[in-house]
Amino acid sequence: MVEPVETTRRFWQALGLPGLFDVHVHFLPESVQRKVYEQFDQAGPKIGREWPIRYRGNHEERVDLLRELGVRRFSTLPYAHRPGIATYLNEWSRGFAAEVPEVLWSATFYPEPDAAAYVAELVATGVEVFKLHVQVGEFYLDDPLLDPVWALLADSATPVVIHAGSGPVGNAFTGPDPLRRVLVRFPTLSVIVAHMGGPEYAEFLALAETHERVFLDTTMVFVDFFGATGSYPRELLPRLVALEPKILLGSDFPTIPYPYAHQLEGLARLDLGDDWLRSVCWENGARLFGVSPREGMTSA
């Protein structure tokens, strides 16, 4: 399958950007990645529909493709689906980040007794972002075991990407209420709401409006894959304009069923202006995380 690289490159070049800053990319250990693919291939209970994965290359091929596309900074976002696996995922992710200069060093945690200890070590040594997926992990964000973790992250201003919305298949742990309860207790927490919280778009948008350090990522929003059932409410778009500094580009690469460029096309179709696109696709991520000099960025 030929990737329309030039479509993506023309997009950011026309905006005068040095490339793209994608806060929602996944790289996982090969054995874990295969199990994730299996869930999608089987349209398992956490997926709920046919989902043909477009990007199945090995790690090196996928890094090379992101570089060709002009994705200058990207996360790896491991997520723990059960107790006892976070440390393994975090060690693998640490090594991957050390080898790939464009990577935001990413990690995860789970409500377990040693979570505060390993999160504290990661924060002290420079981890840049965490990822949680409550739909897959099946835990409440306000589990008491996470209280010291939230305190650590709030004090250090370390962002955490959280899949808390009920899409694609909700359960007892998804929805805005658990995150809302956490933010009441830890109001300075830096949270990036994955998928803009879909389908509870309005509720998570309100959290971003209310809390200074709550952001929204665009992952798989404004695309055609979900049809009318996944459409972002048009009446909310003016509020997205007002929240321009808090909207971040996300893609869910590699586990997407369409070309990478389609996410960008969906953003452009909103017709919210080039300044908005520049903020979302580069400037907001660069401001939140900084742009590492080690990546040797160019616009070539």
* Tens digit of each residue's pLDDT, the chain (300 residues): 457 899 999 999 999 999 999 999 999 999 999 999 998 888 767 777 888 999 999 999 999 999 999 999 999 999 999 999 999 999 999 999 999 999 999 999 999 999 999 999 999 999 999 999 999 999 999 999 999 999 999 999 999 999 999 999 899 999 999 999 999 999 999 999 999 999 999 999 999 999 999 999 999 999 999 876 568 999 999 999 999 999 999 999 999 999 999 999 999 999 999 999 999 999 999 999 988 634 434 444
Strands 106-108 and 129-133: parallel
The C-alpha atoms of residue 284 and residue 246 are separated, in whole angstroms, by 7
* Omega before 238 within 30 of 0, i.e. cis: no
pTM of the model: 0.95
The C-alpha atoms of residue 210 and residue 205 are separated, in whole angstroms, by 9
- What is the per-residue pLDDT for 291? 82
| Helix, strand, coil tally for the chain in percent (to 5) | 50, 10, 40
Beta bridge partners of 131: 108, 161
Place of tokens 């179709």: 269
Query: Nearest-CA neighbor of 40 among 260, 225, 267?
Result: 225
- What is the per-residue pLDDT for 137? 96
List the domain boundaries for the chain: 5-11+26-287
Residue 32, burial from CB neighbour count under 10 angstroms (0-12, 13-18, 19+): middle
Residue 34: partners with Cβ closer than 8 Å, 6 or more residues away: none
Decide yes or no: CATH 3.20.20.140 for domain 5-11+26-287: yes
